[in-house]
């Protein structure tokens, strides 16, 4: 089960740690190793206290994060869902290819051991009206580069 928190990123870091983190830790404690968490628009200051974060089986990060740094973090536990911004799928031609390459190149530069546990995704998913050819290209490109 993945908890999709659409408003978690809106909270200032101190408020997030005070109001949300204890409840998130309690959820993870109640279902050890069985839950994932993704907060839209989250930022590193909200995740500075790794105590609650380490209890999740999966933690999702959107495209505003330096995903290579998240994957290389020395105390990383569990799986990492690292997401391309689904709005990038609306780009056409070279702009789309460039956005996809900018997302994937830093991850491809990591060793297989550093990438282990990475789940590639699309933020909150595919948006209405997204060109299907770009979705297909996204999936095919990820599969080709990381087989």
Q: If pLDDT is split at 50, 70 and 90, which confidence band does 145 have?
A: very high
- The arithmetic mean of pLDDT across residues 26-51, rounded, is 88
* Position 139 pLDDT exceeds 80: yes
pLDDT reading at 55 higher than 80: yes
pLDDT mean over 9-27: 92
- Give the pLDDT band (50/70/90) at residue 79: very high
Average pLDDT over residues 90-110: 96
Q: Could you tell me which residues are beta bridge partners of residue 4?
A: 38
For the segment 66-94, the average pLDDT, to the nearest whole number, is 92
- pTM given for the model: 0.87
How many CB atoms sit inside 10 A of residue 78's CB?
Answer: 18
Go through 30-54 and write b for each residue having 16 or more CB atoms within 10 A of its CB, e for each that does not.
eeeeebbbbbbebbeebbeeeebbe
Those residues whose C-beta lies under 8 Å from the C-beta of residue 120, and which sit 6 or more positions away, are 81, 82, 83, 84, 142, 146
Choose between 142 and 42: higher pLDDT: 142
* Token pair of 88 as six digits: 């990038």
H-type helices in 3-131, by residue range?
13-15, 21-30, 50-53, 67-72, 93-108, 112-115
Is the pLDDT at 91 greater than 90, yes or no? yes
Whether the per-residue pLDDT at 141 is higher than 90: the answer is yes
Cβ 120 vs Cβ 62: under 8 Å? no
């Amino acid at each position: 089960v993945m908890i999709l928190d659409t408003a978690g990123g809106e909270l200032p870091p101190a408020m997030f740690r005070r109001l949300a983190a204890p409840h998130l830790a309690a959820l993870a404690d109640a279902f050890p190793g069985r839950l994932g968490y993704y907060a839209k628009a989250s930022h590193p200051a909200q995740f500075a206290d790794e105590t609650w974060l380490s209890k999740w089986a999966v933690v999702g990060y959107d495209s505003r994060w330096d995903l290579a740094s998240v994957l290389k973090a020395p105390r990383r536990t569990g799986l990492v869902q690292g997401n391309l911004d689904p709005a990038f799928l609306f780009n056409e031609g070279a702009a789309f290819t460039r956005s996809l390459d900018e997302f994937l190149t830093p991850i491809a530069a990591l060793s297989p051991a550093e990438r282990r546990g990475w789940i590639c995704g699309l933020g909150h998913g595919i948006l209405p009206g997204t060109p299907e050819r770009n979705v297909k290209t996204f999936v095919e490109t990820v599969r080709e580069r990381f087989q």
